[in-house]
Structure 1
Amino acid sequence: MRTRGWGGKVPASDEDAVARILAATRRTIDLHGEQTSIADVARTLGVTRQTVYRYFPSTDELLSATAADGVGVFLDQLAEALAGITDPGEAVAEGVALTLERLPHDPYLGLLLRTQPASAFAVTVTTDTGRTFGHSLLNRLDVDWAEFDEQSVDDIIEMVLRTLQSFILAPLPAPGQELRRLLGRWIAPAVTAARGATKARASARS
Structure 2
Amino acid sequence: MGHHGWQGNPPGTEQEARRRIVEAATACLDRAGLARTSLSDIAAEAGVTRQTVYRYFPKLADILGAVAIAGVEEFAVRMERHLATFGSPAEVAVESVVFGVRAVPLEPRLNLLLEAGEGEFFTGAVTSREWLALGARILRNVPVDWASSGVVADEDFAGLAEVLMRLFLSFLRHPSTPPLSDTQLRDLVGRWIGPSLAS
Query: Please, what TM-score do these two structures have when normalized by structure 2?
Result: 0.79
The match for 1:135 is 136
Q: Shift of the alpha carbon at 1:113?
A: 1.9
User: Does the 8 Å contact 1:97/1:180 carry over to 2?
Assistant: yes
Matches within 5 A, 1:41-80: 41-80=42-81
User: Does the 8 Å contact 1:118/1:169 carry over to 2?
Assistant: no
Q: Which 5+ residue runs of structure 2 have no aligned equivalent?
A: none
Q: Shift of the alpha carbon at 1:79?
A: 1.3
Matches of 2:128 and 2:55 in 1, distance apart? 25
Alignment root-mean-square deviation, CA: 2.7
User: Does the 8 Å contact 1:96/1:160 carry over to 2?
Assistant: yes
Choose 1 or 2 for highest CA Rg: 1
Q: Shift of the alpha carbon at 1:171?
A: 0.9
Amino acid at match of 1:44: E
Matches of 1:88 and 1:127 in 2, distance apart? 24
Choose between structure 1 and 2: higher helix proportion. Answer: 1
Deviates more, 1:121-130 or 1:34-43: 121-130
What are the superposed Cα offsets for residues 80-115 of structure 1, whole Å, 9 maximum, x if unpaired? 332332322212211110101122232233212221
Q: Which 5+ residue runs of structure 1 have no aligned equivalent?
A: 197-206
The match for 1:23 is 23
Percent identity of equivalent pairs: 35
**SS of alignment partner, residue 65 of structure 2:** helix
Matches of 1:21 and 1:125 in 2, distance apart? 21
Matches of 1:127 and 1:12 in 2, distance apart? 27
Q: Shift of the alpha carbon at 1:139?
A: 1.9
Q: Shift of the alpha carbon at 1:165?
A: 3.7
Q: Shift of the alpha carbon at 1:11?
A: 0.8
Q: Shift of the alpha carbon at 1:129?
A: 4.7
Amino acid at match of 2:186: R
Deviates more, 1:87-96 or 1:100-109: 100-109
What are the superposed Cα offsets for residues 108-165 of structure 1, whole Å, 9 maximum, x if unpaired? 3321222131665236545555532321221232323343333654553343234224
Does the C-alpha gap of structure 1 residues 154 and 45 become closer, same or farther in structure 2, counting only changes over 3 Å?
Answer: closer
Amino acid at match of 1:160: L
Of the three residues 149, 164, 170, the one matched with 1:166 is 170
